[in-house]
Structure 1
Amino acid sequence: MDHAAVLALFDHHLREKARPDGPGARVERVGAVVRQSAHEHGWNGVLWSALGTPGTDPDAVIAEQIAHFTRLGREFEWKLYGHDRPADLGRRLLAAGFVPEPDETLMIADTARTALDTEPPAGIRVAPVTDRAGVDLVADVHERAFGTDASRLRRQLLDRLVDDPGTVVAVVALAGDEPVSSARMELVPGTGFAGLWGGGTVPGWRRRGIYRALVAHRARVAVDRGYRYLQVDASGQSRPVLERLGFAALTTTTPYVYRPVR
């Protein structure tokens, strides 16, 4: 895989030419940025920027985005990638009041070279999520796996399944009737890219190959639907697993979050 070429495709299709990621969301290019504005439980933020272009004032553009989302009453994320310019954009965001969350690694795999034969361990079955009951299972796993509130995830996933089911695949791994792991995949028609998100396993069930099996399961679905590339924002914990499955690290990504004073 030509890493530079694939990264350029990713930037073009999923950032510069991004599409709304759910009902009620709007993506627009305003000057030097591409941003998404959504309802309160949706994702609000800056997807792409050209702040390294000569004649552009990065600090003024940052201030414009703060003003826009503050008018909407939304906290928002500036999704900064390691190759974005200017090189000091992270410092400028910090100075403007953004708070960085943990770094992740953008990893991409060509589905033609991805290990797809991994099956769940004995006693685990993978079930598709298609309704509110399944979404509740995903949210339950998310809260137990990550220790964070899943109310926003619950609403986002249910909205997608109801309004645009062809662009999202969600699964839950069950040990008997107990949900022990879950994950989803977002498909972006016309781009060749499918994004893997939310893979998490509850304590007590980790290190048994469940996460790996859910990655392979979603990869098979992506292949069946004609997608060439799989994309993941990987934590340090999941990166080694993904590398063994055929994913390559292309750059870093850091969410910078701005929370308006209310």
Structure 2
Amino acid sequence: MDQHEVLNRFDRHMRRDATPDNSAAVVEHTGGVVRQSGGPHDWNGVLWSDLDEESAPAAVAAQVAHFTALGREFEWKHYSHDRPATLPALLLAAGFVAEPAEALMVGEAAALTAPVELPEGVRLVPVTDAAGVELMASVHEQAFGSDGGWLRQRLLAQLTGTPDEVVAVVAMAGDVPVSAARMDLPPGKEFAGLWGGGTTEAWRGKGVYRALVAYRARIAAARGYPYLQVDASDDSRPILHRLGFVQLSITTPYVHKP
């Protein structure tokens, strides 16, 4: 993989030329930034910026004013290769709070499709309706210790409004959900996004997470996506590295609440 070229492709496809991730959201190019604005359960934030030390302060202030007027919490999704170097300090000074950094990791979909043997009694079930979404939210709450309400709202909206652009799957041990993940398939892009891969504590280290990656890789490759993209936590980063993913940057969510 030519890492420099793939990073340039990622910036162009997924950030600079981003498209709305659902039918209710709007992507705008304004004041040197690319932002998405949507409803209270949508992702609201800045995807890309082309700023320098002179233009950055006004751009930050303009985005705070825009989302505050909407009454929206929003995220400035910063990458370690973004410029200017002073941007993180400007965001903090404007009232943003930095959440834990994650690694931008990319893998070639076709190289990640090999099936993984699941533990005895575990099966992968596609999520297509509200009942499946509830199983996913249950896993999310157990694996990450956070409320799954936003996931219920977002995934139900995707499955209803743009079902061809999302894949969701839950691993079941008998009747108990033990792991779950989803994948965004943005039309016309080269990168399928892997999100929300979480496994309940008792089932970690048994290959279930790897099986969910392979499951989604097969679908992405069949749909013509050459790359898989993950914002990897410290827990998932070594697993993805062993599977063949490459780290291209570090991304930090800077969150501003109205």
- May I ask how many residue pairs the two structures share in their alignment? 258
1:135-174 aligned within 5 A: 135-174=133-172
TM-score, reference length from structure 2:
0.98
Are the aligned partners of 2:45 and 2:74 in contact in 1 as well (CA < 8 Å)?
Answer: yes
1:53-202 aligned within 5 A: 56-114=54-112, 116-202=114-200
Deviations 1:133-152 (A, max 9, x none): 00111111101111111111
SS in 1 for 2:180: strand
SS in 2 for 1:43: coil
Match of 1:223 among 207, 221, 224: 221
Are the aligned partners of 2:139 and 2:178 in contact in 1 as well (CA < 8 Å)?
Answer: yes
SS in 2 for 1:232: strand
Deviations 1:67-112 (A, max 9, x none): 0000000010000001000012111111111000001000001123
Structure 1 unaligned blocks of 5 or more: none
**1:34 aligned partner:** 34
Aligned-partner Cα distance in 2 for 1:31–1:84: 16
Deviations 1:143-199 (A, max 9, x none): 111111111111110000011000000000000000011000000121121000000
Query: Post-superposition shift, 1:115?
Result: 5.3
Aligned-partner Cα distance in 2 for 1:3–1:259: 35
Aligned-partner Cα distance in 2 for 1:31–1:116: 45
Aligned-partner Cα distance in 1 for 2:37–2:117: 39
Aligned-partner Cα distance in 1 for 2:73–2:121: 42
4+ residue runs of structure 1 moved beyond 4 angstroms? none
Letter in 2 for 1:150: G
Query: Post-superposition shift, 1:202?
Result: 1.1
Are the aligned partners of 1:22 and 1:156 in contact in 2 as well (CA < 8 Å)?
Answer: no
**1:19 aligned partner:** 19
RMSD: 1.0
TM-score, reference length from structure 1:
0.96
Aligned-partner Cα distance in 1 for 2:109–2:229: 10
Q: Which moved more, 1:119-128 or 1:169-178?
A: 119-128
**2:47 aligned partner:** 47
**1:9 aligned partner:** 9
SS in 1 for 2:185: strand
Query: Post-superposition shift, 1:206?
Result: 1.1
**1:209 aligned partner:** 207
User: Share of identical aligned residues, percent?
Assistant: 60
Aligned-partner Cα distance in 1 for 2:161–2:46: 24
SS in 1 for 2:23: coil
Letter in 2 for 1:232: V
